[in-house]
Amino acid sequence: MRAATIRDGSLGVADHPDPEPGRGEILVRVRAAGLNGADMLQRAGRYPAPPGSPRDIPGLELAGEVVARGPGAERFDEGDCVMAIVGGGGQAELCTVHERGAMPVPEGLSWEEAGGFAEVFTTAHDALFTQAGLEMGERLLVHGAAGGVGTAAVQMGRAAGATVTATVRNEAKREGVQALGARVLAPEGFAEHGPFDVILELVGAPNLSSNLDAVETGGRICVIGVGGGPKGEINLLGLMGKRARIHGSTIRARPLEEKAAAMRAVERHVLPLLDDGTVRVPIAETFPLDRVEEAYDRFAEGGKLGKLVLTVG
């Protein structure tokens, strides 16, 4: 099979042996695979794949058809269309996936949309609802809202009955985020528009101090992105006075049991919203696998609305 390949700090497309599904696994012929910030970090040598995942083939989410099943795999049949989260290896013509790490593709969803759905919507849903406990009527602030996770969070927050505010640095993308259901602000001075019950942090350290000013008493700040920097300072007296909580989250390195639980929650609560059009997967651009280096460079430029997706096959 052919796959996006990271070797000696360079990115290209190379041939690899076809993978074979193990116990509880399915083999998927990949049709589309999303790009994520973790792929960029892996390309730069700063985020190695977890044990059991290919070290040189990136890709955390994919969509395609089941072409084989390993021993004990019974959740899907050959020919079923699935979208999945993997620890790596998704940006390839074939990928093995534990069946519990996959979900069915809803009717009417394109391969590109399905390929860009699983990682970002699962990350956003888990952070907002399972961890931060966002409730109907609460006030949600999403930082860096024009990307894949941000656009997912805005839509799900709106669908859950929250009042959603978003910060977007690129002025040209603000109208698009507003159309998804958010009041959109420039990043500067956002604290003046609070307070907020839940703050979803996708930028990182530059917002720490102002987040503490903006959060409501008893509020929750969930950090799931640090593209603007990982280190900052906060006034712990302010945190104590607000009786607020700051916590962080990732999906990639979690055990299968935790990933599966997060995905089953998405199946119950989010797939119906895809079916009825309440939420969608905004696609910024698509690139064929042969142009993978160009796709990564485009991701690094920033300024996109929604997902960048590789098409395969």
CATH number at residue 87: 3.90.180.10
- Are 178 and 210 contained in the same domain? yes
On the question of pLDDT at 253 being above 90, the answer is: no
Instruction: Decide if 253 is inside a domain.
Output: no
133-137, 266-270, 295-299, 300-304 — which is least confidently predicted?
300-304
278 in Cβ contact with 159 (< 8 Å): yes
Instruction: Decide if 83 is inside a domain.
Output: yes
pLDDT one-digit tens code per residue, 72-121: 999 999 999 999 999 999 999 999 999 999 999 999 999 999 999 999 99
Taking alpha carbons only, the member of 48, 167, 73 closest to residue 84 is 73
Instruction: Decide if 269 is inside a domain.
Output: no
- Are 47 and 131 contained in the same domain? no
On the question of pLDDT at 180 being above 80, the answer is: yes
- Residues forming a β-bridge with 33: 310
CA 119 to chain centre: 4
Structural domains of the chain, count: 2
Average pLDDT, the chain: 96
Instruction: Decide if 44 is inside a domain.
Output: yes
Its domain, for residue 298, covers: 2-117+281-311
Instruction: Decide if 275 is inside a domain.
Output: no
Instruction: Decide if 262 is inside a domain.
Output: no
d(CA 285, CA 9): 24
Q: Give me the CATH number covering residue 189.
A: 3.40.50.720
- Are 150 and 237 contained in the same domain? yes
- Are 49 and 74 contained in the same domain? yes
On the question of pLDDT at 227 being above 90, the answer is: no
Instruction: Decide if 74 is inside a domain.
Output: yes
Residue 9 pLDDT: 80
